[in-house]
Amino acid sequence: MPRLFGTDGVRGLANRKLTAQLALDLGDAAVRVLGSSDQNGGRRRALIGRDTRVSGDFLASALAAGMSSGGFDVIDVGIIPTPGIAYLTSVLNVEMGAVISASHNPMPDNGIKFFARGGFKLADTKEDEIEKVLGAEWERPTGEGVGRVSHDTVTATNMYIDHLVSAVAPTGADKTRPKPLAGLRIVADCANGATSVVAPEALRQAGADVVVINASPDGYNINKHAGSTHPEQLQAMVKASDAVMGVAFDGDADRCLAVDEDGTMVNGDQIMGILAHAKQREGKLANNTLVVTVMSNLGLKLALKDMGIATVQTGVGDRYVLEEMLRGGFTLGGEQSGHVINREFATTGDGTLTALTLANEVVRTGRSLKELAADFPQLPQQLINVPNVDKLAAPTNAKVQAAVEREEALLGETGRVLLRPSGTEPLVRVMAEAETQQQADEVCHRLAQVVADELSL
């Protein structure tokens, strides 16, 4: 039987794979695994938040029912970005937080993920424990032992916004707050998702002149031709409104991509490079190291090396980035997709925080986003998905590995190749980076052909 939890919680088509019954059972199981200690005079508490998908309504009710029947008092904070739940779980006296979201996926999908006390995503072992007791009978509490469900959207949202703004504009001794982004016109594409209120308000409180698009969620339009997966509207609006930059979020706002004043995309690698250089300048980049994944462009690593910044590489997934950050005591890491984890202020990727700190760096340096991004040129890249192959044999097949070595020798230090098996399909992703697009295309196609010929099912 396949594992229920994926790389970012339980996810699937709402009301098919992810049903109300499964949400109920997950809530019931989670309190048994994560609620081992009594707090608040015997009352244990959990937070629930969600994105704007219509299915979030019934899934939140079911999840809350499972948790409260297990003896937890549940605070439903309504629509809020995923990192908002992580933050609130880290500062409030609660046992755990839960988010109902499928992030950048289409609207019909949804998901459930948990944060442990302290605001960190669960380790695989904890998810396995939840899965092990899922649906199992146990002696549930009765009478006064049953939990309550309350709703508080305003307090939670305001606490989170205040935290975000404080990252770039901490309140002074005179109780006033500076506005470091004053004079910056920024376009914010909220993907009709969870940050439709939070991001515009946080940017405005920091002083920015904010032009907002795709911030009218109706339950059905999350990520629809909007946000970080569809940045075309943002690119056009930045140019049309004479903005200095634009930022795009996904449905649950744990990632952020940017657009410079010309409408050119600034990807997660470039954003990480800019923020790493800023932290290095401030003496806040632990061990002068940035944690990246295997998908980060070689151009980022070469540029950082010239700046005296090392990189540590992990597998794909922000949870693996965070694990390495905690293991090595590093303060910044992320993914090319726009997940950026800034441990000075957060326990997980936070798109709105990234937008604020990126805009703040434009102000601090007096340089445009275009100029800052140019410090981290991206090598031309090609990616080919090779389907219907034995993905597990790629690392051990002699002819495939010989082809990899041949292409790596050809590229030398000015390029690289990567074979990455899909986590869900019989497919291998072949990626090549090189000095020119033509060379990247040629290397990638040659290697993809070898993979198809040697590993075909």
pLDDT per residue as tens digits for the range 266-279: 999 999 999 999 99
Q: Is 37 part of any known ligand binding site?
A: no
pLDDT tens-digit map of 181-193: 999 999 999 999 9
260 is in an annotated binding site: no
pLDDT score at 424: 67
Query: What per-residue confidence (pLDDT) applies to 173?
Result: 85
Span 100-149, pLDDT tens digits: 999 999 999 999 999 999 999 999 999 999 999 999 999 999 999 999 99
Starting at the edge strand that comes first in sequence, how are the strands of the sheet with 340-342 ordered? 310-314, 289-293, 332-334, 340-342
Mean pLDDT across the chain: 95
Instruction: State the pLDDT at residue 25.
Output: 97
174 is in an annotated binding site: no
Q: What is the pLDDT of residue 174?
A: 86
Local confidence band at 36 (pLDDT 50, 70, 90 cut-offs): low
Say whether 252 counts as a known binding-site residue.
Answer: yes
Give the Cα-Cα-Cα angle 98, 19, 155 (nearest 5 degrees): 30
331 neighbors 284 (Cβ within 8 angstroms): yes
Point out the residues that are catalytic. Answer: 103
Residues in CB range of 360: below 8 A, 6 or more apart: 168, 180, 181, 206
Per-residue pLDDT of 317-363, as tens digits, reads 888 999 999 999 999 999 999 999 999 999 999 999 999 999 999 99
Q: Model confidence at 35, in pLDDT bands (50, 70, 90)?
A: confident
Cross-strand pairs, 78 = 49
> CA dist 284 to 77, 94, 277, 332, 364, Å?
33, 30, 10, 9, 16
Stated as kind and residue range, the H or E segment containing 173 is none
**How much is the pTM?**
0.93
Q: Is pLDDT above 70 for 416?
A: yes
CA 386 to chain CA mean position, Å: 26
Q: State residue 8's pLDDT score.
A: 87
Q: Which residue has the tokens 């990567």?
A: 418
445 contacts: CB under 8 Å, gap ≥ 6: 382, 384
The answer on pLDDT for 254 being more than 90 is yes
What's the pLDDT at 351? 98
| CA 213 – CA 187 distance, rounded (Å) | 7
Q: Is the pLDDT of residue 41 over 60?
A: no
